[in-house]
Amino acid sequence: MTSIAQLVAEGTITDPDSAKGKLLQCAARLFSDKGFDRTTVRDIAREVGILSGSIFHHFPNKEAILCGVMREAVLVSTAKMRAALAQAETPQQQLLALITCELEAIHGLSAEGFALLVSEWRRLSPENQADVLALRDIYEQLWLDVLAAVREAGLIDMDCFLVRRFLVGALSNTYNWFHLDGDMTLQQLAQQALRLLIHRV
């Protein structure tokens, strides 16, 4: 919470209470629910409570909305992960923290729209991909640092890049089968994902 307020204050992300902020939130939800292509700008406008033409005061086109959603999702997630890492002590705890953060992001608990980074990535133009990728690189570096530490500690022995890539797929795909209101909690899910990487947990 505090971290988001700080990002808003810095101007890094859009104030979620502003018109543009609400627009991004609604768009994120709709894009996640129905997919980018199946979501019309009229859908978004209706959700926000404005008319479709008004959207283009805030964004030059529909793709820019998706790009904005992704940017903020990465920025917020990065901030959340930094905060979580600060409170973890061992590499293993740090890894669990990251997994938990990413799962929270994927399932819409923090920045809505994080799952779009995988599912709708190809909808972005090369320019916008590069734009988001720059932010995502920072995010991914946090992962790689922690994975390196975990590897240093002898808890995993595979290539860190490879582990991360497998993990991205495994976690993002939970969006398709895991439900927050099901039998398993998100924390339990995170624990299991950790066990996938570190067998003697």
Partner DNA sequence: AATGAATGAGGGTTCATTCAT
Partner DNA sequence: TATGAATGAACCCTCATTCAT
Name the site residues for a second copy (rule: CB under 8 A). 35, 37-38, 118-119, 121-123, 157-159, 162-163, 165-174, 176-177, 192-193, 195-197, 199
Residue 6, amino acid: Q
Q: Smaller CB distance to DNA: residue 59 or 139?
A: 59
Q: Look at residues 14, 43, 17 and name the one whose alpha carbon lies nearest to residue 31.
A: 43
Which of DNA, a second copy, none binds 199 (CB below 5-8 Å, type-dependent)? a second copy
Q: Which of DNA, a second copy, none does 169 bind, CB closer than 5 to 8 A by kind?
A: a second copy
Q: State the residues that interact with DNA by CB under 7 A.
A: 19-20, 38-42, 50-58, 60-63
115 and 168 Cβ atoms separated by less than 8 Å = no
The minimum distance between CB 139 and a second copy, in angstroms, equals 16
Q: Give the one entry of a second copy, DNA, none that residue 179 binds, where binding means its C-beta sits below a cut-off of 5 to 8 angstroms depending on kind.
A: none
Between CA 163 and CA 111 the distance in angstroms is 24
Residue from 1, 2, 52 nearest 27 by CA: 52
- Provide the minimum distance between the beta carbon of 135 and DNA in the complex, in angstroms, as a whole number: 22
Least Cβ distance, residue 121 to DNA (angstroms): 18
Closest to a second copy by CB, 61 vs 192, is 192
- Specify whether the CB–CB gap between 124 and 66 falls below 8 A: yes
Residue carrying structure tokens 């805030």: 58
The count of other CB atoms within 10 Å of the CB of residue 14 is 20
